[in-house]
Amino acid sequence: MQTSYLRPTYLEIDQQAIYDNVHHERERLPQSSQLFAVVKADAYGHGLVPVARVCRAAGASGFCVATLDEALVLREAQIVEPILVLGVTSVTTAAIAASQHISLTVADRDWLAAAAQTLAGKNNLPPLALHLAADTGMGRIGFTEPAELQKAAAFVLDHPETFVFEGVFTHFATADQTDLTHFQQQQAKFKQMLAVLPEKPRYIHCANSATSLWHAELAMNMIRFGIALYGLNPSGTVIPAPYPLKPALALYSELVFVKEIHAGDTVGYGATYTAPATEWLGTIPIGYADGWLRRMSGMAVLIEGQRCPIVGRVCMDQIMVKMPAKFPVGSKVTLIGRDGADEITIQEVATYAQTIHYEIACGLDNRLPRHYLPFDPD
């Protein structure tokens, strides 16, 4: 979708907040552990390349992405640090990854055999770095049995001209919950799987943001720092973070139209709102095409520090809000962020929409320009 730079609706990204979140976590880690910043999904909607550069300045020594395309964007931006693609990548693109020194995830031995054939005889390529995924209870991708993981590792080690056994990892499904039963079961299984490896790779990692925050003893020699680097608590509101996280994202717009409506007047598609009395109505240029979904109808925005509820249905490109007074056209509107003494957090938005803040952030479309506040690395 075309970015709408000439519309007064935009995201503001506080790069200092990102820097501080990463730097703080880096300071908590043992010297032997590295922090890989998870910047998949356009850095959770915050902007892939700008966020990667801030994270690098703050002490990140590598990056995790979801797709090979994301990794290639980082390489094109002169990001030279290690990059791991966390998802399963087509064997047909293995040579591309090798040529760009991008590490890939392996989830089964069939992929390994096919990749070995694909890369055979390509002497101009460096060996492809691989991380073996162990499915210890997430149920998504990876080897589920120690014997299978052992065979895969042996296969990689037996083909040093083609592969580098760079890492092994698992992903916890419940690290952000208070009940540790499943978490501890996964932890025990990962230890079992590590024990059968014929050789330990460079990176052994199991800590996502939640694990790194609340189970720091499992940092091993690498963590994958994701949602927390954006200043958002992985558990939502379930478990307090061990230190203050600084939210990096704010969403602003302005009033483009103001009018008075009267008792009986209806607003929006389906005429779902009927004014009970004379009211001031404001129109704001944002809608579900921008990621401000229809279920946000009824959610408040801030204008001059006052909460103004969305009335009627959210449209594709516009919303209407009920105002306590006649605010002038051009007045700043805060959808996420602080205005005066009040603040609307992305967690509040997610709670209203009955979802998680991950989805809200990732769903904000690229039609919304990203404005980046500077950061000071000192």
**pLDDT-based confidence at 238, cuts 50/70/90?**
very high
Residue 378 has pLDDT above 80, yes or no: no
Class of CATH domain 249-344: mainly beta
316 marked as binding residue: yes
Q: With H, G, I as helix, E, B as strand and everything else as coil, classify residue 216.
A: helix
Lookup result for tokens 């009986």? 264
Residue 16: the pLDDT is 98
Candidates 10, 40, 230, 288; catalytic one: 40
295 known ligand binder: no
Q: CB of 345 within 8 A of CB of 247?
A: yes
Q: Where in the chain is the domain with CATH 2.40.37.10?
A: 249-344
Name the β-bridge partners of 10: 252
CA distance 358 to 187: 25
For domain 15-230, give its CATH number from 3.20.20.10, 1.10.645.10, 3.40.50.300, 3.40.50.620: 3.20.20.10
* Catalytic site residue from 243, 259, 269, 326: 269
Mean pLDDT, residues 363-370: 98
- Say if CB 164 and CB 198 are below 8 A apart: no
Decide if 254 contacts 282 (C-beta within 8 A): no
122 in catalytic set? no
| Range with the poorest average pLDDT among 16-30, 54-68, 111-125, 295-309 | 111-125
Pairing state of beta strands 203-207 and 222-225? parallel
Length of the chain: 378
Please indicate whether residue 352 is annotated as part of the active site: no
CATH 3.20.20.10 residue ranges for the chain: 15-230
Q: Are 66 and 85 in contact (CB under 8 A)?
A: yes
Q: What is the mean pLDDT of residues 242-259?
A: 97
pLDDT of residue 121: 79
